[in-house]
Amino acid sequence: MNWTLYASVTAFLFGAEMLYLRLATHFNIVDTPNHRSAHSRLTVRGGGIVFWLAAFLAFVVSDFATPYFFAGLTLVALVSFVDDVQSISNRLRFLVQLVSVGLLLHETGLWQETGWWMIPGLVVACGVLNAYNFMDGINGITVFYSLITIATLLIINQFIAFFADPLLLHFSLAGLLVFAFFNARRKALCFAGDVGSVSMAFIVIFLLTSLMQKSGQLVYILLLAVYGIDSVITILYRLWLGENIFRPHKSHLFQLLVHQLKWSHLRVAGLYAVAQALINVYAVWLSHREGQIQFWGSLILLTVLTWLYCLLKNRLLWPKTSDPKTGQRRATSQVLRKLI
């Protein structure tokens, strides 16, 4: 491991992030709080651009080893950054995401192996991309969760199954550590923005896809279990209420913990990261078991997690005296505290 290279990259990314904060402040690229926000002051938006920059450095140092992946990452980061500065249509954003994920899948060779059967995979990957973005709602959650995910993938790549150039993993980890300095605090200096959460999601999808393809172990999808359950159930709940799932809201469990129980952002973000870390250990253990054990082990885990999630969320959203269809709710913090 070239510690001098990684230290130099980390220092460069730190300086680049400082420069971006100055430029963003000058050009008014800031997040203005509203009634749906989890913050109360103007904060620089788009600080997660450092994730794209980390991937760019890995791309250059590796002699441009993954051109289709990086082209897709750049496309999706660009449209996300534009959306951070000035809102664009959902159709345009989704179209660019489809093209970008298509390039990602081409890089992994899955298009050549499965042909048009990869179209469902394309849609699922775009769903994961947006779910990762939807979960970026409080200080620390994206960076803590991604640190756990990238660190787990780095360990797997080094000790269990080699599937990716270590440079992308190490540089992404450096980018996350740099961003954590500015974001993982009570009053964040910057938010990841769409450019940050989507870029990191794209990197994670590429790494996970490569891992599952080369190892033949689909069980590694559990590395996104916590985000997946919160995103899917929240989307289904909002669809049931007839809400527009693309509009900002406070329906995720992590948002309810912050706004109703008054837990700190970092406490909730840490809870999500620790939960996913424990699941990652279990997923790695399952990867060494036979197929039937992997299937039933994954099913049992997801069932238990879904049940716990629904139990906690129902205690917050649907007290006995409220009608969930009308949205007439009252605070239920004491109920959940007793439950926990």
90 is in an annotated binding site: no
Alpha helices in the chain (DSSP H): 3-26, 49-61, 67-85, 90-108, 110-114, 119-134, 141-159, 166-183, 193-215, 225-240, 253-259, 265-286, 291-317, 333-339
Q: What is the pLDDT of residue 325?
A: 46
Q: Looking at residue 332, what is its pLDDT?
A: 38
Rg, C-alpha atoms of the chain = 20
Of 140, 211, 126, the residue nearest 169 (C-alpha): 211
The candidate with the shortest Cα–Cα distance to 49, out of 72, 92, 19, is 19
Integer Cα distance of 289 and 54 in angstroms: 35
Bridge partner residues of 190 (DSSP): 44
Q: What is the pLDDT of residue 3?
A: 87
Do residues 100 and 202 lie in contact, with contact meaning Cβ atoms separated by under 8 Å? yes
Burial of 166 (0-12, 13-18, 19+ CB in 10 A): middle
Residue 133 annotated as binding site: yes
The pLDDT assigned to 188 comes to 93
pLDDT given for residue 319 in this prediction: 54
Measuring CA to CA, which residue among 12, 112, 21 is closest to residue 54? 12
Per-residue pLDDT, 84? 92
Q: Given this model, what pLDDT does residue 69 score? A: 97
Spans in the chain with pLDDT lower than 70: 1, 32-41, 318-340
Q: Phi/psi of residue 135, each to 5°?
A: -80, -10
Write out pLDDT tens, residues 121-164. Answer: 888 899 999 999 989 989 999 999 999 999 999 999 999 999 99
| pTM, rounded to two decimals | 0.90
**Distance in angstroms (rounded) separating the CA atoms of residues 72 and 24:** 24
Q: Is the dihedral of CA 41, 19, 28, 55 positive or negative?
A: negative
At 77 the pLDDT is 97
Q: What is the pLDDT of residue 172?
A: 98
Residue 315 pLDDT: 84
Q: Partners of 31 in the beta sheet?
A: 43
Looking at residue 238, what is its pLDDT?
Answer: 86
Residue 334: what pLDDT? 43
